[in-house]
Amino acid sequence: MPQVPRLRLCRAARRRESPLRLLSACDELGYHRRDTKEPFYRKVNTVAVKKAFIFPGHYARMGMGHSDPPLPRATVELYERAGRTLGCEISRVMQYGPVELLQRPLYAHPATFLAGIAVFYDALNSGIIPDFLAGYSLGDFTAVVASGALSLEEGLKILKLRSSIMDQACKHTPGQMSAIKSLNEAAVCSICINAALETNGTCEIAAINSDSDIVISGTREAVNNAAEHAGKAGAMVTEIAVPGPFHSSLMKGAEREFAEIIGTVRFKDPQFAIICDSSKNGVINSREGLKDFLTAQISRSIDWKRKTSVLREMGVSVLCEMGSSLRLARITSGEIPGSAFYEIESHRDLAALAAGAAIRER
């Protein structure tokens, strides 16, 4: 079958070498222009605003990555390629579960990664080029692979090892995470300290999503204690469906194990700027620091509030969450006046993004 001509890239893409190099990876998987009558696919030059692609963290549900049936041939090939590297029928698990498997990092992390990277490649080949990449938890790893700092094959091999390490850590170090809303960081920090003392356990801030949206992590008894006190203080508390105490000191063992693996990896310079909550200027533009960035985030708390601030300072006005949505783009858009958000889970969602971009340019 003859190859369909590649989509004409927008002016911003033609000025950079990076997306062209990444598009070769898309071509390997067969991401080519589809036959369609929709104006978007004929008119790609609609990208003057600054865009950030956001990759979510651990979030697995049946049907993820399969919301656009029938799947594009390229996505099927991507999932099959990943399945061979991971040693399991990951596409089948993503689509049909069972839920018990999808809750384990061994499957949840590759599933979350693939759901995001599939629509990312589709976006690139459709001429939709980001200015920045940002990740939440596991999403940091997805962002590094999407940036071209690691090839897809390298990323899958490392992800297989990382997922196994996290899976074992959850078995050996069970714990819990909960989201607390309507209390500020100082109040939550005080509650965590008291909960740890009262239960002789661990309770720490795992993520600061905004001024009044904070996640805690630790031993089950301590987190439950903190949740009870937070509720009495007027907070809305929600237990998060994860199998372990991610982003807490209880993950230090997993962090050390992963550091040994990532220490042997040779990164390339990222082709898109990656938003980082621990660097001085909030952005990673070179391979320097990528190893520490990917290692430390296993036990370090997430400062999404800082990442949001960096995106705002960079003038980003379109936020696109790639893959199974954790409503990160929605939350972030609420903190950036005048911004628009899109939750991209399928090829159809890309059409809505392009249409919105065209309207914003008028």
Signed CA dihedral, 93, 95, 101, 102: sign only: positive
Nearest to 242 by CA among 200, 183, 179: 179
29 SS3 class: helix
**Domain 11-171+251-361 -> CATH class:** alpha beta
* Residue 308 to residue 283: CA distance in whole angstroms: 12
Which fold would CATH assign to domain 175-243?
A: Alpha-Beta Plaits (3.30.70)
Please give the helix or strand (H or E) that residue 294 lies within, else none. Answer: helix 290-296
213 SS3 class: strand
* Residue 316 to residue 273: CA distance in whole angstroms: 13
Q: What's the farthest any 2 CA atoms get from each other in the chain?
A: 68
CA torsion 44-12-79-264 (nearest 10°) is 180
CA torsion 335-126-120-312 (nearest 10°) is -20
**Which pairs with CB-CB distance under 8 Å and at least 24 residues apart come from 99-107?**
99/62, 102/60, 102/61, 102/62, 103/60, 103/241, 103/242, 103/243, 104/167, 104/170, 104/243, 105/58, 105/163, 105/166, 105/167, 105/170, 105/243, 105/244, 106/163, 106/164, 106/166, 106/167, 107/60, 107/163
What string of pLDDT tens digits covers the 362 residues of the chain? 333 233 333 333 333 334 445 545 555 555 543 333 332 222 333 446 899 999 999 888 899 999 877 888 889 999 999 999 999 999 999 999 999 899 999 999 999 999 999 999 999 988 899 999 999 999 999 999 999 999 999 999 999 999 999 999 999 999 999 999 999 999 999 999 999 999 999 999 999 999 999 999 999 999 999 999 999 999 999 999 899 999 999 999 999 999 999 999 999 999 999 999 988 899 999 999 899 999 999 999 999 999 999 999 999 999 999 998 888 999 999 999 999 999 999 888 888 887 765 545 44
| CA 343 to chain CA mean position, Å | 12
Q: What is the pLDDT of residue 45?
A: 38
What is the domain partition of the chain in residue ranges?
A: 11-171+251-361, 175-243
Nearest to 174 by CA among 242, 81, 272: 242
* Residue 44 to residue 227: CA distance in whole angstroms: 48
- Amino acid identity, position 142: T
Q: What is the pLDDT of residue 19?
A: 45
* Residue 103 to residue 83: CA distance in whole angstroms: 18
